[in-house]
Amino acid sequence: MATAGLARHAGEEIYARVRRDTARTLSHLAHDWSLSLAVALLGLLVLLAVFGPLIWKTATTVNIGNSLAAPSLAHPMGTDSVGRDVFARFNEGARISLSVGAIVVIVGALVGGTVGIVSGATGGWLDTVLMRIMDAILAFPPLILAMAVSVGLGAGLTSATLGITLTSLPYYARLLRSEVLRIRSLPFIEAAHALGARRLRILLRHIVPHVASTLLIQAAALFGYAILTLAALGFVGLGAQDPTPEWGTMITDGLQYFLTGQWWIGVFPGLGLLVVVTATNILADRARDILDPRGQYAYV
């Protein structure tokens, strides 16, 4: 059927673009030291996240006798108030942050992107309604919205993820809508239309491959925001719940010990956050330089 063929064609286009851009990206990597550093650090954390919990101690073993121990060879990041190994919790936390970030960003991009594309491509009352909803979400203080969702659905990682995803939707929607509108008015679209192509065909064949890279860049830029917001929710007690070792919750644990000398409980998770978010921001920035330097992307 024609649509299937078109979809396949769109897929091929995207694949070709990604390959071309990846080749360029790799050559850029070789020359750009800050980018390489960012990739290296991020890669290290991914390794820790994936393999850490498998080969290191468990994150939940309580051992009151060894609580509040300073960093040592046995416990590279020390132990917390009930004797749990902070390094193990750090690795688990990395796993949590990275996966939640990925989910938020993927789901947000897909849903928000679709809303934006539909809005831009259809126009009319649907466009107005969708965009007004997005505006309402934007006017809502984002942290409060995430908190409200969290509380509403019962505190925990799932509700936190949902809440954060919700707050990120408008950014994708608005960006993609304006992209679609811009591309729609380009001469080559008019030409295709004049040649008799149907709207769906135009959409799939011409518009989608381009907006894929736009989505990617915005998603990368919002990844850091997702992780930081998750940590913020954990900090106020709404995200992951104890004993889940999410970095934000760990910082809250370490709160009272900060000023009494056991700094390691709170400092390491914060460092983890800093590294991950900074690295992904640098990556997102470079991706933007390579793929679409003129674009207006939201960094939250």
Partner 1 sequence: MTRIVLDKLFGAGVAIFGASLLAFLFMRVVPGNPARLIVGPLATPQAITAQEHAMGLNKPLWVQYWRYISGIFSGNWGFAYSTGQTVKHEIVARLPASAELGFYAFVFAFLFAILFALVATYRRRRLVDAAIRGLSFIGLGTPPFWLGLLLLLLLSQIWGILPGPEGRLGPNTPPPPTVTHFYTFDALIAGQWGTFWNAIQHLVLPAITLGLAPFAYLVRLLRANLLDISRENFIVVVRSKGVGRWSAFVRHALPNAFLPTLTAAGLLLAQLLTGTVLVEEVFNWPGIGQFVVESILRQDYAVVQTFVLLSAIAYVVVNLLVDVLYGVIDPRVRLPVAR
Residue with tokens 């700094």: 263
Q: Which amino acid is at 6?
A: L
Supply the minimum distance, in Å, between the C-beta of residue 253 and partner 1: 12
Residue whose CB is less far from partner 1, 56 or 263 = 263
Residue whose CB is less far from partner 1, 3 or 34 = 34
Using CB under 8 A, list all residues that contact partner 1.
Answer: 34, 132-133, 135-145, 147-149, 151-152, 154, 224, 228, 231-232, 235-238, 248, 251, 255, 258-259, 263, 266-267, 269-270, 273-279, 281-282, 285, 299
Residue whose CB is less far from partner 1, 10 or 104 = 104
Supply the minimum distance, in Å, between the C-beta of residue 22 and partner 1: 23
Checking 75-82 for CB contacts under 8 A at 24+ apart, the result is 77/264, 77/268, 78/262, 78/264, 78/265, 80/250, 80/253, 80/254, 80/265, 81/253, 81/257, 81/265
- Concatenated DSSP letters for 127-156? HHHHHHHHHHHHHS-HHHHHHHHHHHT-SS
Name the DSSP class of 113.
H
Q: Are 170 and 140 in contact (CB under 8 A)?
A: no
Q: Which amino acid is at 72?
A: S
Supply the minimum distance, in Å, between the C-beta of residue 82 and partner 1: 20
**Cα–Cα distances in Å, from 203 out to 151, 178, 184?**
40, 14, 9
Supply the minimum distance, in Å, between the C-beta of residue 239 and partner 1: 13
Supply the minimum distance, in Å, between the C-beta of residue 6 and partner 1: 36
Query: Hey, what are 204's tokens?
Result: 């799939």
Residue whose CB is less far from partner 1, 167 or 244 = 167
Residue whose CB is less far from partner 1, 196 or 293 = 293
Q: How far is CA 131 from the centre of its chain?
A: 22
Supply the minimum distance, in Å, between the C-beta of residue 154 and partner 1: 7
- The Cα angle at residue 22 between residues 19 and 27, in degrees rounded to 5: 135
Supply the minimum distance, in Å, between the C-beta of residue 109 and partner 1: 20
Residue whose CB is less far from partner 1, 78 or 142 = 142
Supply the minimum distance, in Å, between the C-beta of residue 203 and partner 1: 27
Residue whose CB is less far from partner 1, 208 or 231 = 231
Query: Hey, what are 123's tokens?
Result: 């126009």
- Determine the Cα–Cα distance for residues 298 and 220; give it in Å rounded to an integer: 11
- Determine the Cα–Cα distance for residues 192 and 186; give it in Å rounded to an integer: 10
- Determine the Cα–Cα distance for residues 49 and 92; give it in Å rounded to an integer: 6
Residue whose CB is less far from partner 1, 92 or 285 = 285
